[in-house]
C-alpha cells in the first residue's frame, strides 16, 4: 500500500489547526472578561461552584489549545520531511534516468 500526500494540503491543515488554537485562545479571553465582570457580584456556594467549573473549563481549553498547536507543528514538520523525501526521490530517478542515457 503506497502512501501519497499533498504537501500544500498538509501546510493548509497545519495552518487550520493553528487558526483554531488562536480562535480558542481569543474565545477564552472574551469569556474571562465576561465572567470577571459578573463573578465579582457572586457570593457563597454558587460563587465557589462556578469558580470550580471555570477552573476545569480553563484547564480543558488550555489542553485542547496546546494540543492544536502540537498537531499544527507535527503536520508542518511532516510536510517538510515529505517534501525533502520527494525531492530526494526525484533527484535519484533523474540520476538513474540520466545514467541510462535513453
Q: Where are the domains of the chain?
A: 1-101
Which of 8, 14, 34 shows the shortest CA–CA distance to 74?
14
Q: Which residue reads 493548509 in cell numbers?
A: 12
| pLDDT, mean of each 10-residue run, the chain (102 residues) | 75 92 92 85 87 92 92 89 68 62 58
> Taking the model in full, what pTM does it have?
0.67
**What CATH topology corresponds to 1-101?**
Helix Hairpins (1.10.287)
Report the pLDDT value the prediction gives residue 50, as an integer from 0 to 100.
Answer: 86
- What letter would DSSP give residue 40? T
Report the pLDDT value the prediction gives residue 97, as an integer from 0 to 100.
Answer: 59
Amino acid at each position: 500500500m503506497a502512501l501519497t500526500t499533498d504537501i500544500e494540503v498538509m501546510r493548509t491543515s497545519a495552518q487550520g489547526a493553528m487558526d483554531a488554537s488562536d480562535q480558542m485562545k481569543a474565545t477564552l479571553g472574551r469569556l474571562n472578561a465576561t465572567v470577571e465582570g459578573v463573578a465579582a457580584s457572586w457570593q457563597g456556594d454558587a460563587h465557589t461552584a462556578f469558580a470550580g467549573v471555570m477552573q476545569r473549563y480553563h484547564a480543558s481549553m488550555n489542553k485542547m489549545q496546546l494540543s492544536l498547536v502540537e498537531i499544527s507543528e507535527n503536520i508542518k514538520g511532516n510536510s517538510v520531511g515529505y517534501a525533502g523525501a520527494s525531492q530526494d526521490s526525484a533527484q535519484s530517478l533523474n540520476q538513474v534516468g540520466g545514467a541510462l542515457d535513453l
